[in-house]
Every structure is written in structure tokens, then in C-alpha cells.
Chains A and B, each alone.
Chain A
Amino acid sequence: MATIFRGLGATTALSASSKSNSFDSNRFHFQSRRSLSARKATFLVVRSEGKLNPGLNSRARRPDHFIANAVATKTDSSAASTASKPGHELLLFEALREGLEEEMDRDPTVCVMGEDVGHYGGSYKVTKGLATKYGDLRVLDTPIAENSFTGMGIGAAMTGLRPIVEGMNMGFLLLAFNQISNNCGMLHYTSGGQFKIPIVIRGPGGVGRQLGAEHSQRLESYFQSIPGIQMVACSTPYNAKGLMKAAIRSENPVILFEHVLLYNLKERIPDEEYVCSLEEAEMVRPGEHVTILTYSRMRYHVMQAAKTLVNKGYDPEVIDIRSLKPFDLKTIGDSVKKTHRVLIVEECMRTGGIGASLTAAITENFHDYLDAPIVCLSSQDVPTPYAGTLEEWTVVQPAQIVTAVEQLCQ
């Protein structure tokens, strides 16, 4: 049976560890990143025959090289998302627009297509002003035909353009599921590597303020099984801009999940150019007692609960996983090894959501390090009701997070 070694940590003293020297501490300072230094995915595989597969191993290091110029160039490593240097303040949707505009300036093959992105400026103002600047062909107003304009974006990407397809609401992209699953995700594989699809599919999703069931969907759970795509969720203006840029520069299809309620968050971000890593999680608050994994809007509920928890004497470690596919098991694993308790707080549905997959992934990889079963708080398996009180009950609230942590830490 194949076994997995974690090269970092230097406690594994087996023949395979000689290969793991590439992950020694020197690496930590190589291309320093924002928060917790250079983390690498360090999964080696030794088959039962005992020989390492060299082809795989040589690439088993954290793939810094292929995203070399997409790594954050900021050298200081202060708290996760806010800039320590003076920068400029803006709202999250403006940060997205800034990232988009910078990439469109940089690369003429980047174009945007979606409903009302051009003359109207985008239903959430993310693309405001871009059509006047770049013209109608580069910021294309499409008719209401998600299936076909997503298909068009993918076809354009096959030739080398880098389109960004905006779903006015993520839920509408269900109409484009065939294109996203079969053509976007699988074409690189079924063509034997001939075509790459550097498309970005983005849009707001999640539960808003009484928007009704069909406009409050969380599609991350539906898309997560599609092979060949990457999914990221932004939560702050800093990572929104960084992830937008990284997604555009990525050669793989990326689905960028934004949240309807987070567009007006204000933050100070650096003036200089930076790009976030698509596969990295963000350490929001280091701690010792329990690891709380979250993403998108639930991060704010968690931080609110964290305040209460700190007052009660707990020290939660909060990680915004950001990368929904694939999971940053390196950051998560290190945290689990430290705290031994995991709480997942997500807005996805209970059944088959991101939390469910994350629970399975952590259990499989870090079972020995857990002192208690993983607790996953997700939204209820119901269509989101319109009534405000009922809607509040479908998503996880800070009080529930506090209770869960207390129970977990008994």
C-alpha cells in the first residue's frame, strides 16, 4: 500500500527522507511570502515496492517555479490581510476592479464577458468604467445566455485569449455546467495537453440579504468534483485583488467565488503590485487551542466569535482556506498538528459541501494528530428562505461557533 511521508518536520527518519531534504528549513526563506513563510506541499509517495517514483518526486516540491512571478512580492510578514505599509483604501469590488484593470493593461489578450459588464458597469460595479477604457469587444456585454457565452469564453481560451466570464450571480452558472465541466475542465486532458484553457469564471454567490432561494446558492460544492479546474474564494480586498490577478495569470481554468455581502468591505491595500498564491491558505489569527477553518463570508462570523472566545480564555487559530480546490493541506496540516482540534465553519450545504470534503481530507491525512472528531458547521440543507429570521437560521452564526469551540475544547 502506498504510504505518504511528510518531508517537513524532520521526524520521519526513513530512507525516503533523503529526498525530503529539499524541504529543509533553508526553503523557508526562499521567496518569502506574507504570513507564515514559505510553505510547501511536501507529499512524497513511496509505493509498497519501496522505490520512489523519481519523475513525480522531482516536481513534488511546492511549485514556486511555475508561479514564480505570481508570488507575492511583499517581503514583510505582518498579519495576514492588511498592509502594514501605507497604501490606499478601497472597497472589495474596487479591489477586484483594480486587479482586473492592471491585468488588462498588462496583457492585451485579457478580456471580460458577461451580462451588463460593459455599458452598465457590472451589476456589482466590478467592471465599472472598463468598457469606456478598453472598448466593447474587450468588455463584452452578452445576452442572457450563460451556457453559450461561457462556451464562447472557453472556445476563445482554446485559441489563447484569456477571457474572464462573469456570472451575474454564481447560481446562473448552473446553466453553464456542461460547458464548465466538460469543456473547461476536461479539454486539457482529452486533447492530450494540446489545449489549455486559461479562463477565469467569477461571480458573487452565497447567502445575501433575503435574496430568495435561487439567488442564494453556493456552487462551490457542485463544482468541486470537476477535474481540471481550480477554485478560490476571496474574502478581503487584499486577497480579492491578489487572487483575481493570480487567477488571470494562471494557465488553468479558475473559478473565483466572491460573496454578495462582502463587496463593500473596506481595507487598506498596498500601492505596489502584488499577486496572491492560488493554492495557499491564509492565516488570519494564529492560536493554540483549536484550528478553525473557514472561507469567504464565514471568516467574519468566525472572527466575531473569536473575540468572544478570547474573552472566555480560548486561543483559536483561524485559517481562511481560500483555495477550495485543491486544499492547502500543508498549512492546514501544520495547524492540526499544533492544535489537535479542528472546527470547520462554512456557508456551503451540509451534504456534499466543501466542509464535507475537507473533513474527509483531514481525517485521511491527519487522523493521528486529532484529539477529537472534526466538527463541521455548515448551512442547513434547505433552500434559503426569504424571511429574515429563517434565513438567519440557515447559515452559521457566531454564537453557534462559540458553542462548538467550547464543546470541542472540553
Chain B
Amino acid sequence: MALSHIASSSSRSNLLKPLAAALSCTPSLRRPISSAADDSRTLTIETSIPFTAHNCEPPSRSVDTTPKELLTFFHDMALMRRMEIAADSLYKAKLIRGFCHLYDGQEAVAVGMEAAITKKDSIITAYRDHCTFVGRGGTLLEVFSELMGRKGGCSKGKGGSMHFYKKDSGFYGGHGIVGAQVPLGCGLAFAQKYSKEETVTFVLYGDGAANQGQLFEALNMAALWDLPAILVCENNHYGMGTAEWRAAKSPAYYKRGDYVPGLKVDGMDALAVKQVCSFAKEHALKNGPIILEMDTYRYHGHSMSDPGSTYRTRDEISGVRQERDPIERIRKLILAHDLATEKELKDTEKQVRKEVDEAIAKAKESPMPDPSELFSHIYVKGLGSESFGADRKEVRLVLP
């Protein structure tokens, strides 16, 4: 299967490259650990596989990074992983209800993208948004409060898992109807062009949504008017239970833009994601839209109601986890370059776990929204009109 091919080739290159890099820059091998605090040192690391390009020149495989960045990647991805697994347990404990779509396995996309852009750039995605939200600066407490429907949640408990937003750092959600966020994202890019802001919008969607008509409509308009929109297809190879080859005649999503250039990236490699996102940002500001296909994988099922094993084998899942796990890749890089010890990394993971547990405990104690919140935020600054509950009897009041 295509996946295992990539897996084996990347594992080979994964192990070899850091050693080769380490050997070539000889002083690094016997460095004392403390000077890993020399954060401004630049490391150049090769991505796992080269980029595949459509209608454009791919960026270089060599990514510049710093020890600080790699350690941040590790911390952030470990945090996201821990958060998602904790959300899994909370869902099973019935503290989170409804739909809960988990992102574990795909953390490298969120983390790599953040490293390439600023908070002035916008990101919009569909419902698998917990980690993207955290990447944009959302706190764990906001995440868990919102998932449990509490007042302190990022959407005041009224949105839920699929409706996380953070306006001040350019995170526009969080949308339940998959595909609908793509025209919205092109609208964000339109506004950026209108206001001449020199910022870009990353519009994330999945391999399932890649077949939506409105995506192509929006892409046409973005290309027509040179909007700074970057369409990112997070291809985890399954649209809920349907494998990509069963849903798309052409699963080469990066090519489907036709006249719009595209790049295919190994989405499990945070550095590759970072490289391609910076490249895309530069491109979009000059030339208009570009499509990025992130080849990634989700360990959980589509959502918590989906076991995730009826349409794929457990061997496949564990195979990817062994060969391509994004956190393991960064861990190996860090260890190979002596940026931290094994113990320090384990301590980071323990600390992250503690943070997550604390946030959950705090969120569990936090209050539910007031009943009056049912009617707030329907209109901006209210109307003085009546509003009813479903039975038109109990709660009738004037909108605030």
C-alpha cells in the first residue's frame, strides 16, 4: 500500500539524515548538554522526503531550524497529543457529548504551520480544530471548558467541539459543515487583500471535503482575483469511513487545482510543513492561491463514535504510529543532535500531562452557562423582539 512505502522510505532517511548532519558538522557531537541553550544556533535538517510539485518549483528539502524551535515543537505536539487523549477519556466518561473529532497523529500540521506564520495571518478549518486552536494561542482551560460546555469555554459553552474560535489571533474556526469553510476562508483572504494587509489565510480542509463543489468555486474566485489564500488539504486518507481512492477519481489533491500550483508534503514531518508553509505564504502574497496537500494520518477514528477499525486494519494504524509518528521524529532529531537528554524529554511529557490534568480538573469545576445565555449573542446589541423556547411557553423574553 502506498502508505507503507512512504513509511519505510522515511524511516530509512529519518535515521540516516540526522546522523549524517551530525557527522558533517563535527563539533556538535561531543557538546555538553547545557550549551543546547545556545538557541540561536541554526541547524539545517533535511525533510523526510522531497516535495512533489504541480505547476511550480518546490522549495528546498533543507530546512533551517533552531534547537529552541525543535524543543518547542516537541513540547507543543506532546501537549496536543496529551490533550486529545485526555479528551478521549472525557468523552468516554460522558463529560464531553455530541461529536468529538480528535487530531492525534496530525499534530505536525498544526505545529509546523504556526512556526511559519504570525498571528496576523488567518487560519480557518473544519471541525477537527482542537489542536489548531491551541496552536493559535488557545489555552487548555478554554479547550476543556468548551468541550464540557462550560461558561469559560472559548465560545462560552455555546459552540462545542466543532466551534472553536479565537478572533484576536486570527483563528476563524471551527465549522461543522465541511467544505463551507473554504468560501469563508477565501472571504478572509479577500478582506486581507481589500485592506492591503500583506497577510495570508490558510484554509484547511480534509480529503473528504476536497470533493465539495464550493471548494472549486472558491478556488476559481481566489485565482481570478489573486487572493492570498492557501488551501491546505489535510489528507488523512479517510473521509470518515471512506478511503480516498473510493471517493475521489483523482486522489492527487494537490493537482486538482489545475491552473493553481500545488505541493505535496509529508504532513508527519513538522519541519517539512514549516518549510512549505513559509514558501506558500511568500507565493500567495505575490501570485495568488496555492494548494498544499499534507500527507498525514489520524490514529483515532473519524470521531469518538467511530472505532476507526472497520475500514482500516489495526496493523496499518500501528504501522504508521511506529514509522511516521510526528512526535517520535522530533524526539529522534533532538536526541541525535544532543539538544536534550532522554530524561529531559520524558520530563517534558510528564509536565505536559500534569498541565492537561490540571486544566481538566479546573474545567470540571467551572460553572455552566447561565440560562439567560440561551438568548444572548443571537443578534448583536439586541432588538427588543421576542424570543421563545421550543415549546413557546416557558421562556419568553426580550432579547438583550
Contacts and interface: CB of A to CB of B under 8 A. Distances in A.
B151 to A, nearest CB: 9
A189 B159 CA distance: 8
A56 B183 contact: no
Interface string A226-259: 0110100000000000000000000110000000
A90 interface: no
B247 to A, nearest CB: 20
A302 B36 CA distance: 83
Contacts of A153: 187
Interface stretch (A38-46, A210-218, A310-318): A38-46
B185 A227 contact: no
B244 to A, nearest CB: 23
Instruction: Choose among B158, B184, B188, B193 the residue with the greatest number of A CB atoms under 10 Å from its CB.
Output: B184
Interface stretch (A9-17, A141-149, A292-300): A141-149
Interface stretch (A61-69, A76-84, A267-275, A346-354): A61-69
Interface in B159-193: 159-160, 163, 165-167, 172-177, 180, 182-188, 190-193
B397 to A, nearest CB: 5
A161 interface: yes
A308 B381 CA distance: 44
Contact of A45 (B159, B225, B397): B397
Interface size class of B (residues with CB under 8 A): 35 or more
B146 to A, nearest CB: 9
Main secondary structure of the interface of B (DSSP, over half): loop
Contact of A326 (B166, B192, B372, B385): B385
B157 to A, nearest CB: 8
Interface stretch (B48-56, B59-67, B212-220): B212-220
Interface stretch (B7-15, B102-110, B386-394): B386-394
Interface in A156-192: 156-161, 178-179, 182-183, 187-192
Contacts of A251: 380-381
B384 A41 contact: yes
Given A194-B167, A228-B379, A251-B380, A157 B187 contact: yes
B155 A228 contact: no
A182 B185 CA distance: 15
Contact of A190 (B124, B159, B376, B395): B159
A179 B217 CA distance: 14
Contacts of B225: 137, 140
A148 B214 contact: yes
B396 interface: yes
Given A45-B396, A60-B398, A147-B183, A158 B380 contact: no
Contacts of B166: 194
Contact of B191 (A4, A45, A143, A160): A160
A381 interface: no
A377 interface: no
A159 B182 contact: no
A155 B188 contact: yes
Interface residues of A, number: 65
Contacts of B195: 159, 161
B158 A156 contact: no
A59 B398 contact: yes
B154 interface: yes
Interface in A47-67: 53, 55-57, 59-63, 66
A299 to B, nearest CB: 22
Contacts of A195: 165, 167, 172
Given A145-B221, A178-B180, A194-B165, A189 B377 contact: yes
A53 B372 CA distance: 10
B274 to A, nearest CB: 25
A131 B210 CA distance: 34
Contact of B381 (A41, A63, A152): A63
B288 to A, nearest CB: 14
A96 interface: no
Given A1-B393, A155-B183, A55 B384 contact: no
Contacts of B17: none
A154 interface: yes
Interface in B94-126: 122, 124
B396 A2 contact: yes
Contacts of A329: 385-386
Given A158-B172, A179-B183, A194-B165, A152 B190 contact: yes
Contact of B187 (A1, A61, A156, A192): A156
A142 B221 contact: yes
A20 interface: no
B382 interface: yes
Contacts of B158: 189-190, 192
B156 interface: yes
A160 to B, nearest CB: 7
Interface string B63-79: 00000000000000000
A221 B123 CA distance: 35
A153 B183 CA distance: 8
8 contacts: A55-B372, A60-B384, A145-B221, A153-B187, A156-B191, A191-B163, A194-B167, A228-B379
